[in-house]
Amino acid sequence: MKQTALILAALALLSGCGASVNSGSLPPVPTAISSPAPEQPLPDLSAPQNDRSEEESGMTLLVQIGEYTFTALWEDNAAARTLADWAAEGPVTVSLRDYGGFEKVGSLKESLPAEDRQFTTGAGDIMLYNGDQIVLFYGSNSWSYTPLGHVEDLTGWQEALSGGEVTVTFSVPE
């Protein structure tokens, strides 16, 4: 009987200690966590994340590589506008060499205004690298570039850029 009384006394003492902890200086522990509803919808993470601006200028240039001619939609930035201005004065021709098995790169006659940002490129992307090199992608790469434009209809793109050195000519449509 003494043993039962001691157990009951110990339990009463322990339950009193627990009550004094919550009634002291410590705040009560929440039983559920709630967060306010987001004010903006969450982004669609199933879409490819490319960091590419969808702000295109509506300006087009022709991209001729050998016997193939492609139409590129150019970005609305200073570099793309400058290249388009050059092409309006006459065709701009650049020799490109293969680099890394996913792009062709060549030097421009002078630098364009660069606004480099991190991109994951894809086939058809036309980028400015280091301010004075134009890059045409037939594969993918992640690096810091200034976007110039993009070729949507890639029919023949891979064939046009295959092999070693190629010559590309940028011109305005008539």
Domain 77-171 top-level CATH class: mainly beta
Query: Taking a C-beta distance cutoff of 8 angstroms, is the pair 84, 63 a contact?
Result: no
d(CA 52, CA 140): 13
- Taken as a whole, the chain contains a residue count of 174
Q: Alpha helices of 53-115 — where are they, by DSSP H?
A: 78-89
Predicted local confidence at residue 49, as pLDDT? 36
Span 43-71, pLDDT tens digits = 333 333 344 443 445 789 999 999 999 99
pTM, rounded to two decimals: 0.68
